[in-house]
Amino acid sequence: MVESGNTFSIETFENEYRNLMVLLKDKFYLDLFGECGGMGRCATCLVRVSGIRGKSALKNRNEPATLSKIGCTDNSVRLACQLLITHDLDGAHIEIFPQE
Ligand code: FES
């Protein structure tokens, strides 16, 4: 996990948090992160990810449309609110986009 240029290792367990956005807000006190509350519409919970496995590697629900709306074509960029806390994230590298 990378936040403000610093690297952290976070341990959690399946379903401890509703999704990755909620986990990141809790761990890093990110004020402007996740403004729509996890609906997948605001794109304020952007993260760059690598090492995600399984079904979590696929974008679904509102994620493709929201990323397309902001002009994002980078496959490694995801909405943290659309990533559930499952074993698919074990060992994943996640970088929080700098907040404006
Ligand atoms: S919290 Fe709004 S898109 Fe993720």
Q: According to the model, what pLDDT value does residue 50 have?
A: 96
Q: From ligand 1's centre to the CA of 39, what distance in Å?
A: 6
What pLDDT, on a 0 to 100 scale, did the predictor assign at position 39? 95
CA of 75 to the centre of ligand 1 (A): 17
Evaluate: CB of 34 within 6 angstroms of ligand 1: yes
Element (H, E) at 6: strand 6-7
Q: Can you give the pLDDT of all 100 residues of the chain as single tens digits? A: 677 778 889 999 998 999 999 999 999 988 899 999 999 999 999 999 999 999 999 998 899 999 999 999 999 999 999 999 999 999 999 999 876 6
Pairing of strands 93-96, 46-50: antiparallel
Assign domain 2-96 one CATH number from 3.40.50.360, 3.30.300.130, 1.10.10.10, 3.10.20.30.
3.10.20.30
